[in-house]
């Protein structure tokens, strides 16, 4: 099946929302892939970070939702630091997470975390994780 | 010299070894870390969202506490707290609109306009104490101890909050050198350990941790020094599992830089609280003659 | 001026201007008695109407608007003077085409008001006729400067060629072979260097720099510093015994400071930079020479058969007078250390360093080795766009030659190491020159060069290997290559000191230090100062054919000036 690209898609509410939350527009990305090349978590991602940006540029929200990428991001900011075009990709990832979490959808179910893990984890790991991965 | 000090949650619980060794070392160097009254959680991770301010309340409130005690500087020891407080402070300084909103929202508090400077303990050691003065106070040089400084993310990224060169930091190298250690430079010193993914994807964190530790070992490190309780947990606690998954891996102690500082300043090793380290560093330190048996 | 006319030009390229509003706004300005608007005033019918209006309305001052005063001022001047006015009685106001339609009218009013103000201040000029000194100065002895010098000299005029290093030849003579034909510079540039050195009309001032410049087109006075070589070049016969005897080694500029095992790329403290140097004369490097650092040695002095060594030599100055100047100061590469996420390591080198390793006349005689241990690298990674196209950390522009020289490197490497593998990381392959695309296809098909589409994020040593972390965006894979040698296609920058030189010449540079041409399309050879022309990479990154073409073009511009005997200079009369 061909993916239909149209102005309806590339200027969709989804694209607007992403830009609004992360405070920057995405056309500057020229798809060099440097973000993906340096991403410490990209080994575990179903789509590479540069592909996520591309999908936002094309307005393909469903493809982003189907991949685990935004939930694997550890907000280490290596991508943003090295991006030649000044795209703050870590912010884009957060905006995409927030679009889901603001619908009150948790990525991590607190009730499913084993007691011993909770007892073991340092406070900042739990607070940080909950802040990034739960509504 | 007295300096306002923000401990954060983890230093009061899991990372007592970090706090105790830091406070004792600084006292020995003539710096009195004065804990802030009524501090609260910094929020741990800085919120990237441009369209809301709610998540900035926690860090900014702490900065207000600093202003209240008429201090113009606050020292953090935990890398995450440093990052979150520093970035919230930059937001307040650079974004008048958000500053206004936050001040209005917290009407019960005094107005905050970025009057406080947020620094990390390593910066205090470099800029206020100085490497030379530290090395003069060293009682027990860490001679022969091969330590790899590991910076992680939050001391260096984003660029605006970096305590040193973002890609080629040397601040911890310089400290360890002043303490007489043999510093091991390795290419993973600024790679992420997996951070809060430990909560939802612990296996992926194992992958990151193995990359970091195996690289440090390949470059000849006997121990890793760091300043972040998140990295400490990941790099330390994961070793149990890595010993099983990677044959030949015998483990490598992870130490807070403050523990090495306290030790070399000749303080009672008790302040280092080595029993809290995930990999016991005492056998290594004993073998180097740095700890009496 | 009492009778001023305003002529508003507009065409389809300029957003619609509300001419009524413009006329209203300027109609009551002092002296304005006539205003008219024409479509395409720059064309012959429009110009005729301007001429008629000046005569009919007995105008004594005119303001004309134009989309590009730099291009049209001369044309307008001819028309205005043919209508009986003098040059000072005309001012051209700029109406830019890219203004938004909304602001266009207000901008036009402001531009005309400012032009009227300038017209009021304008005073009669006196024109003086300056005889042209038919001698040229060429600054920079690379291929562009050499080409310009030869063309001018062949036309019968004297050329002074100033070169800051001890020999002409420039960057080109450092190269191994040149794309896409694989000619070696030692074969194709050396004859031009020899011709330059032997040409009766060319005087080479090597190891010299321009100290100061004064004057105008037709007659510039230039002061040149001749750096002390500590060798009397008049006595010296270039035999080279001095550098054979010298016992002190240092890293060599010509070898890009490559530090190879056995110091095979080092030069001596007294040295002729390379075997084909023109002039074939040595210089002493004070930093390393034992006579200067330790106070005694003199091995070279004892060995010199003609007594040319002169430790007491000082910098000297010569002053020359020339009618026109060509600047051809070339380029440097951005230092590798600017890419902070790539480690500094002997086996991570830049393109010019690799040229020296590939060069049959180079320190390894063309054998490709790793600088760290002298071993033959079996896998080599070439990385494009290091610093280029990176507005955040480097420069935003494309350096234009890296795509081609990296694939040339890959191909030559495969020829030198047939069982080796070359990888090239790229973002876009930009190969617009003649025969370039075919060259890439050949490298891919015959030499099995593997292109990987993505930028590289990290390069670091891992034991014996150099690890390269990149991505291949075509497959959506993060990739890692453990190679033996990494070659960085570093961005091209204007050569060191070109900004300072531009200040001395009063010519404009852009924010990166490249010298600005008078018009980006129509005057690519002229600098912003009349009588000073640009050639080669000082004006922007370019490859050899383009640099040679520009060198020849600049020479012909200069020659058309020299075909006249005098130049008319207009200066405001002192009242």
- Which residues, 6+ apart, have CB-to-CB distance to B57 below 8 Å? B102, B105, B106
Band (pLDDT 50/70/90 cuts) for residue C41 is: confident
Do C304 and C326 sit in the same domain of this protein? Answer: no
Do A97 and A118 sit in the same domain of this protein? Answer: no
Domain finish residue from C258, C284, C314: C314
Give pLDDT, residue C572. Answer: 65
Do A44 and A93 sit in the same domain of this protein? Answer: yes
pLDDT per residue, tens digit, chain B (293 aa), is: 999 999 999 999 999 999 999 999 999 999 999 999 999 999 999 998 989 888 999 999 999 999 999 999 999 999 999 999 999 999 999 999 999 999 999 999 999 999 999 999 999 999 999 999 999 999 999 999 999 999 999 999 999 999 999 999 999 999 999 999 999 999 999 999 999 999 999 999 999 999 999 999 999 999 999 999 999 999 999 999 999 999 999 999 999 999 999 999 999 999 999 999 999 999 999 999 999 75
Do B8 and B110 sit in the same domain of this protein? Answer: yes
Q: How far is C423 from chain B, CA to nearest CA, in Å?
A: 22
Do A85 and A113 sit in the same domain of this protein? Answer: no
Give pLDDT, residue C575. Answer: 47
Do C346 and C485 sit in the same domain of this protein? Answer: yes
d(CA B76, CA B60): 14
Angle at C247 between CA C243 and CA C249, to 5 degrees: 80
* Number of structural domains in chain B: 2
Instruction: Describe the crossing of helices B257-264 and B171-178 by its angle, rounded to 10 degrees.
Output: 20
| Chain C interface includes A69 (CB < 8 A) | no
Smallest Cβ–Cβ distance between B165 and the set C340, C461, C467 belongs to C340
* Number of structural domains in chain A: 2
Among C54-63, C136-145, C250-259, C390-399, which stretch is predicted with the lowest mean pLDDT? C54-63
- Helix H, strand E, coil C: the string for B126-192 is HHHHCHHHHHHHCCCCCCCCEEEECCCCCCCCCHHHCCCCCCCCCHHHHHHHHCCCEECCCCCCCCC
Give pLDDT, residue C100. Answer: 64
pLDDT > 50? residue A24: yes
Do A67 and A34 sit in the same domain of this protein? Answer: yes
Structural domain harbouring C95: 4-122
- Which residues, 6+ apart, have CB-to-CB distance to C214 below 8 Å? C220, C221
Do A86 and A117 sit in the same domain of this protein? Answer: no
d(CA C258, CA C465): 19
- Touching B: C residues 340-369, CB under 8 Å: 340-341, 343
pLDDT tens digits for range C297-317: 999 999 999 999 999 999 999
Give pLDDT, residue A117. Answer: 87
Do A84 and A131 sit in the same domain of this protein? Answer: no
Structural domain harbouring A112: 107-135
A43 neighbourhood in chain C, CB within 8 Å: 478
C340 to B215: CB separation less than 8 angstroms, yes or no: no
User: Is A2 domain-assigned?
Assistant: no
The answer to whether residues B130 and B178 touch, using CB atoms and an 8 Å cutoff, is: no
Structural domain harbouring B46: 2-121
Do B99 and B153 sit in the same domain of this protein? Answer: no
A78 neighbourhood in chain B, CB within 8 Å: 153, 157, 191-192
C473 neighbourhood in chain A, CB within 8 Å: 31-33, 36, 48, 50-51
User: Is A58 domain-assigned?
Assistant: yes
Do B159 and B85 sit in the same domain of this protein? Answer: no
Smallest Cβ–Cβ distance between A43 and the set C391, C473, C478 belongs to C478
C462 to B187: CB separation less than 8 angstroms, yes or no: yes
A82 to C393: CB separation less than 8 angstroms, yes or no: yes
Average pLDDT over residues C11-37: 84
Do B89 and B139 sit in the same domain of this protein? Answer: no
Give pLDDT, residue C37. Answer: 86
User: Is B293 domain-assigned?
Assistant: no
Domain finish residue from C426, C460, C492: C492
CB count, 10 Å around CB of B66? 25
Best mutation site among A90, A100, A125 for testing chain B: the one with the most B CBs within 10 Å?
Answer: A125
Do C19 and C94 sit in the same domain of this protein? Answer: yes
The answer to whether residues C384 and C435 touch, using CB atoms and an 8 Å cutoff, is: no
pLDDT tens digits for range C102-111: 678 888 888 8
Give pLDDT, residue B194. Answer: 97
- Which residues, 6+ apart, have CB-to-CB distance to C509 below 8 Å? C494, C498, C499, C502, C515, C516
Choice between C93 and C410, residue whose per-residue pLDDT is larger: C410
Do A51 and A85 sit in the same domain of this protein? Answer: yes
Among B25-39, B42-56, C205-219, C365-379, which stretch is predicted with the lowest mean pLDDT? B42-56
Q: What distances in angstroms separate CA C261 from CA B111, C247, C265, C413, one per listed residue?
A: 65, 18, 9, 20
C477 neighbourhood in chain A, CB within 8 Å: 48
Give pLDDT, residue A1. Answer: 83
Do A55 and A113 sit in the same domain of this protein? Answer: no
pLDDT tens digits for range C232-258: 999 999 999 999 999 999 999 999 999
User: Is A50 domain-assigned?
Assistant: yes
Helix H or strand E segment including C9: strand C4-10
Do B109 and B147 sit in the same domain of this protein? Answer: no
A50 to C457: CB separation less than 8 angstroms, yes or no: no
pLDDT tens digits for range C512-535: 999 999 999 999 999 999 999 999
Q: How many CB pairs under 8 A join A and B?
A: 134
B168 to C340: CB separation less than 8 angstroms, yes or no: yes
User: Is B40 domain-assigned?
Assistant: yes
Do C283 and C299 sit in the same domain of this protein? Answer: yes
Q: How far is A97 from chain C, CA to nearest CA, in Å?
A: 21
Q: How far is B43 from chain A, CA to nearest CA, in Å?
A: 7
Do B191 and B103 sit in the same domain of this protein? Answer: no
Tell me the average pLDDT of chain C. Answer: 94
pLDDT tens digits for range C69-111: 877 888 888 899 999 998 889 999 888 755 566 678 888 888 8
| Neighbouring chains to B with at least 3 Cβ pairs closer than 8 Å | A, C
C456 neighbourhood in chain A, CB within 8 Å: 34, 37
Do A53 and A86 sit in the same domain of this protein? Answer: yes
Q: How far is B64 from chain A, CA to nearest CA, in Å?
A: 22
pLDDT tens digits for range B164-221: 999 999 999 999 999 999 999 999 999 999 999 999 999 999 999 999 999 999 999 9
C341 neighbourhood in chain A, CB within 8 Å: 38, 82
Average pLDDT over residues C467-474: 98
For A29, which residue in chain C has the nearest alpha carbon? Answer: C390
- What are the structure tokens assigned to C153, written together? 């000299």
User: Is B228 domain-assigned?
Assistant: yes
Give pLDDT, residue C574. Answer: 55
Among A97-106, C254-263, C435-444, C453-462, which stretch is predicted with the lowest mean pLDDT? A97-106
Band (pLDDT 50/70/90 cuts) for residue C18 is: confident
User: Is B275 domain-assigned?
Assistant: yes
């Amino acid at each position: 099946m061909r993916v239909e690209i149209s102005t309806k898609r590339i200027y969709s509410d989804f694209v607007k929302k992403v830009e609004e939350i992360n405070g920057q527009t995405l056309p500057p990305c020229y798809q060099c892939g440097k973000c993906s090349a340096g991403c410490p978590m990209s080994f575990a991602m179903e789509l590479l970070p540069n592909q996520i940006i591309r999908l936002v540029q094309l307005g393909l929200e469903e493809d982003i939702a189907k991949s685990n990428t935004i939930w694997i991001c550890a907000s280490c900011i290596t991508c943003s630091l090295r991006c030649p075009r000044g795209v703050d990709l870590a912010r884009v990832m957060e905006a995409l997470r927030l679009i889901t979490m603001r619908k009150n959808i948790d990525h991590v179910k607190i009730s499913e975390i084993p007691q011993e893990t909770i007892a073991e984890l340092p406070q900042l790991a739990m607070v940080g994780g909950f802040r990034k991965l739960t509504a | 010299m007295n300096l306002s000090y923000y401990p954060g949650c983890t230093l009061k619980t899991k990372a007592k070894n970090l706090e105790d060794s830091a406070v004792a070392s600084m006292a020995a160097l003539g710096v009195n870390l004065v804990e802030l009254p009524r501090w609260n959680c910094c929020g741990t991770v800085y919120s990237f969202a441009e369209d809301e301010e709610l998540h900035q309340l926690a860090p900014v409130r702490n900065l207000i506490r600093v202003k209240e005690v008429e201090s113009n500087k606050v020292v953090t020891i935990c890398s995450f707290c440093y990052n979150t407080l520093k970035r919230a402070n930059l937001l307040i300084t650079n974004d008048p609109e958000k500053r206004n909103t936050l001040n209005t929202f917290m009407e019960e508090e005094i107005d905050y306009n970025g009057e406080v400077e947020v620094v990390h303990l390593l910066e205090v050691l470099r800029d206020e104490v100085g490497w030379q003065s530290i090395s003069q106070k060293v009682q027990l040089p860490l001679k022969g101890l091969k330590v790899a400084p590991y910076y992680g993310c939050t001391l260096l990224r984003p660029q605006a909050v970096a305590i040193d060169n973002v890609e080629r930091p040397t601040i911890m190298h310089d400290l360890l050198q002043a303490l007489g250690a043999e510093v091991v430079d390795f290419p993973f010193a600024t790679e992420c350990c997996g951070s809060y993914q430990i909560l939802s994807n612990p296996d992926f964190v194992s992958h990151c941790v193995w990359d970091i530790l195996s690289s440090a070992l390949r470059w000849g490190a006997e121990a890793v020094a760091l300043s972040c309780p998140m990295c400490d947990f990941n790099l330390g606690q994961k070793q149990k599992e890595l010993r099983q998954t990677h044959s030949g891996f015998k483990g490598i102690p992870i130490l807070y830089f403050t523990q090495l500082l306290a030790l070399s300043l000749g303080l009672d090793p008790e302040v280092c609280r080595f029993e809290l380290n995930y990999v016991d560093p005492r056998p290594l330190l004993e073998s180097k003659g740095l700890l009496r048996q | 001026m009492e009778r001023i006319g305003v002529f508003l030009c507009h065409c389809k390229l300029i957003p619609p201007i509300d001419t009524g509003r413009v006329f209203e706004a300027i109609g009551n300005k002092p002296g304005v008695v006539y205003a008219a608007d024409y479509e395409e005033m720059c064309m012959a019918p429009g110009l005729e109407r301007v001429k008629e209006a000046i005569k009919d309305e007995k105008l004594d001052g005119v303001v004309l608007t134009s989309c590009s005063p730099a291009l049209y001022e001369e044309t307008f001047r001819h028309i205005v003077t043919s209508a009986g006015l003098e040059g000072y009685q005309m001012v051209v106001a700029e109406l830019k085409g890219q203004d938004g339609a909304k602001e266009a009218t207000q901008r036009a009013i402001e531009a005309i008001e400012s032009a009227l103000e300038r017209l009021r201040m304008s005073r009669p000029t006196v024109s003086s006729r300056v005889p042209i000194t038919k001698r040229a100065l060429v600054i920079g002895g690379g291929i562009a400067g050499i080409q310009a010098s030869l063309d001018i000299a062949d036309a019968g005029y004297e050329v002074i060629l100033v070169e800051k290093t001890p020999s002409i030849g420039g960057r080109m003579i450092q190269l191994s072979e040149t794309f896409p034909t694989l000619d070696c510079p030692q074969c194709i540039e050396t004859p031009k260097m020899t011709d330059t050195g032997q040409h009766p009309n060319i005087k080479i001032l090597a190891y010299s720099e321009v100290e100061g410049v004064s004057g105008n087109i037709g007659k510039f006075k230039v002061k040149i510093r001749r750096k002390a070589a500590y060798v009397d070049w008049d006595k010296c016969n270039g035999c080279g015994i001095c550098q054979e005897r010298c016992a002190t080694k240092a890293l060599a500029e010509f070898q890009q400071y490559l530090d190879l095992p056995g110091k095979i790329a080092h030069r001596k403290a007294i040295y002729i930079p390379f075997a084909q140097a023109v002039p074939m004369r040595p210089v002493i490097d004070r930093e390393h020479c034992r006579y200067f650092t330790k106070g005694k040695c003199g091995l070279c002095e004892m060995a010199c058969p003609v007594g040319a060594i002169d430790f007491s030599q000082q910098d000297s100055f010569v002053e020359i007078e020339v009618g026109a100047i060509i600047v051809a100061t070339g380029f440097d590469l951005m230092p590798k250390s600017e890419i902070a996420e790539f480690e500094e390591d002997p086996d991570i080198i830049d393109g010019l360093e690799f040229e020296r390793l590939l060069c049959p006349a180079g320190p390894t005689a063309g054998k490709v080795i790793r600088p760290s241990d002298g071993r033959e690298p079996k896998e080599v990674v070439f990385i494009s766009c290091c610093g280029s196209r990176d507005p955040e950390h480097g420069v935003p522009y494309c350096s234009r030659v890296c795509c081609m020289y990296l694939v040339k490197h890959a191909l030559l490497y495969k020829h030198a190491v047939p069982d080796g593998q070359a990888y090239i990381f790229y973002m876009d392959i930009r190969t617009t020159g003649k025969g370039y695309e075919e060259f890439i296809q050949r490298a891919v098909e015959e030499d099995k060069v593997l292109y990987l589409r993505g930028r590289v994020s990290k390069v670091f040593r891992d034991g014996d290997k150099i690890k390269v972390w990149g991505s291949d965006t075509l497959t959506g894979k993060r990739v890692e290559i453990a190679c033996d040698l990494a070659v960085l296609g570093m961005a091209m920058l204007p050569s060191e000191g070109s900004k300072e030189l531009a200040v001395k010449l009063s010519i404009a540079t852009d924010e990166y230090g490249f010298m600005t041409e008078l018009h980006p399309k129509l005057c690519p050879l002229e600098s912003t100062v009349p009588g000073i022309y640009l050639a080669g990479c000082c004006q922007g990154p370019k490859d050899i054919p383009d640099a040679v073409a520009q060198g020849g073009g600049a020479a012909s511009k200069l020659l058309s000036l020299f075909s006249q005997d005098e130049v008319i200079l207009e200066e405001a009369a002192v009242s």
